Structure 1
Amino acid sequence: MSEVKTKAEERSSAKPKKSPLREWFDSILFAVVAATLIRWLFMEAFTIPTPSMENSLMVGDFLFVSKLHYGTRTPRTPLQVPLTHQKIWGTDIPSYSTAIQLPSYRLPGFTHVKNGDVVVFNVPPKYLNDNIDYPVDLKTNYIKRCVGIPGDVLEVRQREVIVNGKPFAKPARSEQKYFVKTTEILDATFFRKYEIVNDYRDPNQPTENWKPLEEYNDSTKTSKLVGYSVNTTEAVIAQFKGFDWVKGIEPMTDKPGEMMPSVYGTPTFKWNHDNFGPITIPKKGATIQINPQTIAIYGPVIELYEGNEKVELTPNAVKIGGQPVTVYTFKQDYYFMMGDNRDNSLDSRFWGFVPEDHIVGKAVFVWMSIDPNPANIWNKIRWNRLFRTID
């Protein structure tokens, strides 16, 4: 008996079979498209390269950042190689073209940036982007903690962050700098026990942060004290205070009125990274008077982030489109970001506010953590940090 093929079977048999190379190409294309959409719409992976967020986030932490929390941004620079940021992998070749630049919008999210959120954003200043004028969505990614939202009045007073007149809750694992006086020579192995791996000074390698101290006399011997500047948590400092060979611990802070020239708002204001403000964080729709004090704080915002054309700034005046202005109304919201490692963080105290259109997403959890300088190969992975939520 002869077989009778259906029309569907005839069409199937007539369709040429894909070659292995074509199947491989289609699979790769599908994976790239799917990964690009997930990365844009839902979640993106990042790694921590610097200690500015220690000890909340460690160098070598790999984390996922949610785009859904604050709402996904529509692409401003659509012409770019998929799954790249600024350069094609392993080269200095730009991975994008600015031939097309689109207006950017934010899709609805299910929350807004709040005080205390750990946020990934495109860092605004050009000098932090290799002095290249990247489009907003391709500027270098930074991660910091939001300590001030639009309309907040913020001040840093002897290290303590004050928001709207109230102390800002210090993150449990945040670090600051202390000078520790001891009668013992301490090495990297000792500091590693207390998760001090990037921020201490060895007396065998003198720097401006290290100094030999006076002799110390007790009933049994005369010892010469040595000093270490360390960035660590309050919990670790409490442990150090229990060691009998620790003879003193001092916070290393700048004094009020001592100007640090690299700090935002100077030289108009005599601020430093331990004593800063008070300042009001710009809010969309808020209006300010133009004067030398407001120009020092908000002049860069008006010039660089508001989309104004032909802005001319002097210490005493602002012109937009050739016309002098005496008042200014902000066009978008801004945020103030600081690292949890307060004394080793290049943040808003140095370069100012983060515009709302620079916000990328909310850091949600660490999925992998690799120690870049492990004590031994068995400790390369920090197992206790895997799948740790970020708070």
Structure 2
Amino acid sequence: MKTMPALTAVVLAAFVGYIGAWYTGAIEGNFALLMFLATLVTGLYWLAEKFLFLPRRKRAAEELQQQAQARREQLQRQGIAQHDVDVSEGQLRILRQPWWLDWTAGLFPVLLVVFVLRSFLFEPFKIPSGSMIPTLLVGDLILVNKFTYGVRLPVINKKVTEGQPVQRGDVIVFRYPPQPSLDYIKRVVGLPGDKVEYLNKRLRINGQDIPTEALPDFFDTDAMRYFQQFQESLGATPHRLLNTQGVPGFIQGAAEFAGRDQCVYSVEGVSCTVPQGQYFVMGDNRDNSLDSRYWGFVPDENLVGRAFFVWMNFGNLKRIGSFQ
């Protein structure tokens, strides 16, 4: 018991050190692992509090009450009628949770709720770039459904239920294949086995042109310029996309990636056959998005969930709502 404050200080210092090293870029952090360990450690403290430390404090408070009662009886036997033996304040001090339990066991219920919600139901993300304009803007805070495509175990990302199949047109969050510690968001264009052609800035799937309709130009307030805007009917719900005038259709700087032999690059663009168990994704801001055209396919095991709702944009409250 006497060593617990020092041990707890070491544990909390380790968490703070990990977060600090992650923040400064000294290590590549893993938030899912951090949440799992925090929930596990505080859960152990919570169990120890419930079944060990709290019963000890209750027994000590009862002993104090018994000692006070014995003292009163002794004074009565000695004929002393006036006595002040009030132990209520002492009992409160004994029962009060020490700081090292308040910062561990006391946080467990909150961490457990956050961990379960984030791991199995919904996870919040912030849009950091303009690759999904006009569907999603920089600064949008979105929710991602974690169970649509099947429930996965946190940290190891092992799928335990199948869920619904991914559909063309879905906006998904996934672990970036070249650097899985990063989360990316793009729109699914090609499913396993699809032949995806993006030539002269027009999309074709399995030999069929995807219908597009010209819309009024889109004015990007961040870039302070207009972009060509179209409506594309890729999935069940049409979506908007942008093209930049003057930017050629061919792909510059495509990296080497697994399955690159399934892609053919030309001055017109790129044509790929999507391998089994993988997806071809693109940003809606077509000429300003690093996506499958550049770094390859997204394996099914990299899926995080389906994005579906903007829950806040502090610069524009009108953004709040569903975009799927």
TM-score normalized with structure 1 length: 0.50
Q: Take 1:171 and 1:362, find their aligned partners in 2: how far apart are those partners?
A: 26
Match for residue 153 of structure 1? 195
Match for residue 112 of structure 1? 165
Q: Take 2:309 and 2:224, find their aligned partners in 1: how far apart are those partners?
A: 27
Deviation string 1:322-344 (CA, Å, 9 cap, x unpaired) is xxxxxxxxxxx000000000010
**Residue 122 of structure 2 corresponds to residue 69 of structure 1:** no
**Residue 303 of structure 2 corresponds to residue 364 of structure 1:** no
Q: CA deviation at 1:231?
A: 3.1
Deviation string 1:206-251 (CA, Å, 9 cap, x unpaired) is xxxxxxxxxxxxxxxxxxxxxxxx435248xxxxxxxxxxxxx994
SS in 1 for 2:223: coil
Deviation string 1:260-291 (CA, Å, 9 cap, x unpaired) is 3436759x94435x6211x21111xxxxxxxx
Q: CA deviation at 1:383?
A: 1.8
Amino acid at match of 1:231: F
Q: CA deviation at 1:110?
A: 3.1
**Residue 307 of structure 2 corresponds to residue 382 of structure 1:** no
Q: Is 1:41–1:72's contact at 8 Å kept on the other side of the alignment?
A: yes
Deviation string 1:335-372 (CA, Å, 9 cap, x unpaired) is 000000001000000011001111110001000013xx
SS in 1 for 2:266: coil
Q: Is 1:68–1:109's contact at 8 Å kept on the other side of the alignment?
A: no
Q: Take 1:68 and 1:47, find their aligned partners in 2: how far apart are those partners?
A: 19
Match for residue 354 of structure 1? 298
For residues 114-133 of structure 1, what are the structure 2 equivalents within 5 Å? 114-125=167-178, 129=179
Q: Take 1:250 and 1:366, find their aligned partners in 2: how far apart are those partners?
A: 25
Q: Take 2:183 and 2:244, find their aligned partners in 1: how far apart are those partners?
A: 34
**Residue 97 of structure 2 corresponds to residue 19 of structure 1:** yes
Amino acid at match of 2:176: V
Q: Is 1:53–1:144's contact at 8 Å kept on the other side of the alignment?
A: yes
Match for residue 223 of structure 2? 199
SS in 2 for 1:335: strand
Structure number with higher relative contact order (C-alpha < 8 Å, ≥ 6 residues apart): 1
Amino acid at match of 1:339: G
Q: Take 1:172 and 1:382, find their aligned partners in 2: how far apart are those partners?
A: 26
* Identical aligned residues as a percent: 32
Q: Take 1:70 and 1:20, find their aligned partners in 2: how far apart are those partners?
A: 44
Match for residue 248 of structure 2? 254
Q: Take 1:27 and 1:260, find their aligned partners in 2: how far apart are those partners?
A: 54
Q: Take 2:103 and 2:270, find their aligned partners in 1: how far apart are those partners?
A: 57
**Residue 287 of structure 2 corresponds to residue 343 of structure 1:** yes
Q: 1:365 to 1:250 in 2, by over 3 A?
A: closer
Match for residue 116 of structure 2? 37
Higher relative helix content: 2
CA RMSD of aligned residues (A): 3.4
Q: CA deviation at 1:253?
A: 4.5
Q: Take 1:171 and 1:74, find their aligned partners in 2: how far apart are those partners?
A: 41
Match for residue 274 of structure 2? 281
SS in 2 for 1:53: coil
Amino acid at match of 1:121: F
- Specify every segment of 5 or more residues in structure 2 that has no aligned partner in the other structure, as ranges: 1-57, 64-93, 232-242
Q: Take 1:155 and 1:339, find their aligned partners in 2: how far apart are those partners?
A: 15
Amino acid at match of 2:151: T
Q: 1:151 to 1:250 in 2, by over 3 A?
A: closer
TM-score normalized with structure 2 length: 0.59
Q: 1:68 to 1:169 in 2, by over 3 A?
A: farther
Match for residue 47 of structure 1? 126
Q: Is 2:190–2:279's contact at 8 Å kept on the other side of the alignment?
A: yes
Q: Is 1:48–1:62's contact at 8 Å kept on the other side of the alignment?
A: yes
Q: Take 1:348 and 1:171, find their aligned partners in 2: how far apart are those partners?
A: 24
Q: Take 1:53 and 1:168, find their aligned partners in 2: how far apart are those partners?
A: 19
Q: Take 1:47 and 1:106, find their aligned partners in 2: how far apart are those partners?
A: 25
Q: Is 1:365–1:390's contact at 8 Å kept on the other side of the alignment?
A: yes
Number of equivalenced pairs = 221
Match for residue 376 of structure 1? none
Q: CA deviation at 1:14?
A: 3.9
Amino acid at match of 1:254: P
